[in-house]
Amino acid sequence: MAEYTSLQLMEMEHEYGAHNYHPLEVVIARAEGVWVWDPEGKKYMDCLAAYSAVNQGHRHPRIIQALKDQADRLTLTSRAFFNDRWPQFARKLAQTVGKEMVLPMNTGAEAVETAIKAARRWGYEKKGVPAEQAEIIVMCENFHGRTTTIVSFSTDDVARANYGPYTPGFKLVPYNDVEAVRSAITPNTVAVLVEPIQGEAGVMVPDDGYLRGLREVCDNSNTLLICDEVQTGFCRTGKLFAFEHEGIVPDIIIMGKALGGGVYPVSAIAADKAVMEVFTPGSHGSTFGGNPLACAVAEASIDVLLDEDLAGNAQRLGEYFRENLRRMNSPKVDIVRGKGLLNAVVMNREAGKARKYTTALKESGVLAKETHDWIIRFAPPLTVTRDELDWALERIRTVLA
């Protein structure tokens, strides 16, 4: 018998926790694979996967074992000393993503901040941009995190309001518009920062050729291309990284979420030495970045993704999922879009806001989350099976009928 009921726990959070989230009315007390249970024992399928942080499924045995084994040996040294795990993880991650060096942090937002700092230093020290004049081009409707610098270039009024004065040095252009980026480039542009698919904006998938166009613009202007793969990375879209669908290579890759296997916060940026050598001792750091526990978990997380071909599973089942959603021909749905197992259903205005549908899905045992009022995002763990997807589709069909 649970010590507290779901209702008691939700009331407790409402009283003692800051109200900076509006969670779906469900309490999760236990999880395994794609399934979660509330304190009363009701079972749900997780179709959000902690915003793609649980790509390997909840509590994957290999990742949990790596966590336990490392916790029995060593957890934290800080970077004041060498430890035996960080060098091995650095090599594995660099070789996996095809870059010469990596820099570890903890959260996705910290990794984005690290990429911004790298681009600015590179601009001043390598490109010759005058001091304090560096510009980074960013996209409207972006979501890169919630630090004061990052919300300074957000176009989401809710995320941005009343946090000024805002950090300068960013130039906003429309997403999915190569010409807008080309027109915004100046001699002081040090980087173009882009999500290959805009997740928080409602799974906005750009046109084919968009990333190739950005790569060309950056090549022609001696500008760094930075891809934020925090949500789209590590097999979510059917490739290791979403930028691989266009056959391009960014100068800086930003990683997080699934790098920690749904167990521990791990993030990083990866780049070649020509970029990464701008960091010198004392110029950037993190007490927990590269800690032995994080490194052990992240190595296991990468192994699971590759050994179990979770990119292939995401590709196959993502197509199957979208095809079945479209076949429903629901009059409440305007658009079904996505790539791999990152998908969105856009409700039409007559159908009402998405929250009532995510609530109805929850009641039927499927946990998904609305974004931007009219959009339902579906992103289950990549370990999901076709039978499990069919189970979810049956309930989605009933709710959207």
Active site residues: 143, 228, 257
Q: Residues near 179 by Cβ (< 8 Å), separated by ≥ 6?
A: none
Per DSSP bridges, beta strands 35-37 and 30-32 are: antiparallel
Q: For residue 165, say if its preceding peptide bond is cis, omega within 30 degrees of 0.
A: yes
Q: Which residue, 304, 300, 284, is CA-closest to 292?
A: 300
Distance, CA of 105 to CA of 50 (rounded, Å): 19
Q: Please tell me the distance from the alpha carbon of residue 167 to that of residue 136, in angstroms, as a whole number.
A: 12
Q: What is the token pair recorded at 315? A: 């590709």
**Cα 135–Cα 141–Cα 142 angle in degrees, nearest 5:** 55
Q: For residue 228, give the 3-state DSSP assignment.
A: strand
- How many helices (H) and strands (E) the chain has is answered by 14, 15
Distance CA 165, CA 303 (A): 43
- Short-list 298, 379, 318, CA closest to 91: 298
Q: Tell me how far CA of residue 286 lies from CA of 99, 157, 224, 266, 301, in angstroms.
A: 21, 30, 24, 12, 21
The full length of the chain comes to 401
What is the Cα 96 distance to its own chain's centre?
A: 18
- The b-or-e profile of 240-261 (16+ CB within 10 A means b, else e) is bbbbbbbebebbbbbbbbbbbb
Please, which residues have CB within 8 angstroms of residue 329's CB and are 6 or more apart in sequence?
A: none
Q: Which H/E stretch holds residue 32?
A: strand 30-32
- Alpha-carbon span 379 to 236, nearest angstrom: 8
Helix, strand, or coil (residue 218)? helix
Indicate the DSSP class of residue 284: S
